[in-house]
A and B are shown apart, each in its own frame.
Chain A
């Protein structure tokens, strides 16, 4: 799993390695949380800068990755609270919504939008737990650590959140079965 011996890396090398391996997936994770891609990119860049600054303490790619994830989740949450991300995204959407064609691509886009919308309606903890679970495929223990909550809480957020998602996305789930 973890790449080459960590101790030899300096902060700059660590940054590059982590960037190469995780930049895209962390931005996608953040999009699940904040929806707006440019906000997600900012959030994840800030997280990389933070891990670079903290490398002296971490010195281990696994720990650094856990720290990165945690920073992305926390910063996404704080971006949502402080920057009116939702409103910004809504405004951008309104501007760019041209008449949709009924082709394959626009169906996929609709489905993606519906999933992100459904995630948005969940309480933030449920959204965070489900994103870490479904997208990063983290274990219950890893999610508990990333969010600083108990494993019991992870379980209950996951089950409530997935129940709500299943209802909200029933149409798409039936399509696939």
Chain B
């Protein structure tokens, strides 16, 4: 703990044995073959889909490789969105870099998916949480912990995850999630089929939003072949690895609440007179999203307005600002909801409790 940075206990004898173990490995010269494999005219192009923009884009690098015949010249892949280009600033001071394990740790906002209720039954919502950069195991661990927003719940038992990693490079490969208990292959008593598929979907989406669109394989502890079922949900046969089963995300409208608030975060605090910035994604009739700021106790409405999540069918980002000038200190609920042209109470809603002080 107290040893200086990057200092190992020296273990020379063991190190010598390990180095020596491969000292006689002399690989053949394959440079010519490598040149041949990389010489192809640049047919591979990288496209960043615009549809998925969201406030978590800071931690989201989504790349889709498109093979085409008559695309650009020889420059190779065009640069992707830089993983460090922030689409919005971290939502709260809790997300500033922290010192853990005696080393400087870079925290990045990541979307972690939880389950909440909607007029259509349980659906996924998400919280933007600080997660150590590149720490996939840490990210999935959050999925089995209680969310900050009391409206949400996790469907995973505590400490359900042992590890998570990415087997591949770039957008090319798949995630491996190791569960802590082989019994998680079956659907636990009391969990509905919808809930179990949402639980699996929460893992897939949290990893894919943060690290790219690889498929996700689950492993029982100590096992080296992917599980066929997780919480009773059957994995798909992977189209690219015959005989291997894995999961990919389901269509947004099947699994997500139709409105998702990414900012503010639950419990966020504002000085009096500050501006509340909000952002999220919604699939609403004509893109219409209504927001409201009301007193947590007594429900007095402070302010209300509309913004649009424009684009067409499906999910689109929305954002806006609420001027807090003259709003007295205290606890408030900030809520958003989708349009309900039917008038039958079918609005989807999401909210956060915030404090002005």
Contact = CB atoms under 8 A, between A and B. Distances in A.
Contacts of A131: 18
A8 to B, nearest CB: 15
Contacts of A37: 25, 27
A56 B78 contact: yes
Interface string B223-247: 0110000000000000001001000
Contacts of B132: 150
Nearest to B33: A45
A26 to B, nearest CB: 9
A140 B21 contact: no
Interface size band for B: 35 or more
Contact of A50 (B26, B35, B172): B172
B16 A176 contact: yes
A41 B27 contact: yes
27 contacts: A19-B34, A32-B21, A32-B22, A40-B27, A47-B169, A50-B172, A56-B79, A74-B165, A77-B176, A78-B168, A81-B176, A81-B224, A81-B225, A115-B17, A115-B21, A119-B18, A134-B14, A134-B19, A140-B8, A148-B166, A149-B165, A151-B102, A153-B137, A169-B17, A172-B17, A173-B17, A176-B17
Given A40-B27, A158-B8, 16 more contacts: A23-B27, A23-B30, A28-B25, A45-B30, A48-B34, A52-B34, A52-B38, A53-B170, A54-B170, A78-B173, A82-B241, A111-B21, A134-B14, A139-B5, A148-B136, A150-B105
Interface of A: 11-12, 15-16, 19, 23-24, 27-29, 31-32, 37, 40-41, 44-45, 47-50, 52-57, 67, 70-71, 74-75, 77-78, 80-82, 108-109, 111-112, 115-116, 119, 123, 125, 130-131, 133-135, 139-141, 144-145, 147-153, 155, 158, 162, 165-166, 169, 172-173, 176-177
Interface of B: 5-6, 8, 11, 13-28, 30-31, 33-35, 37-38, 44, 75-80, 100-103, 105, 132, 134-138, 163, 165-170, 172-174, 176, 222, 224-225, 241, 244
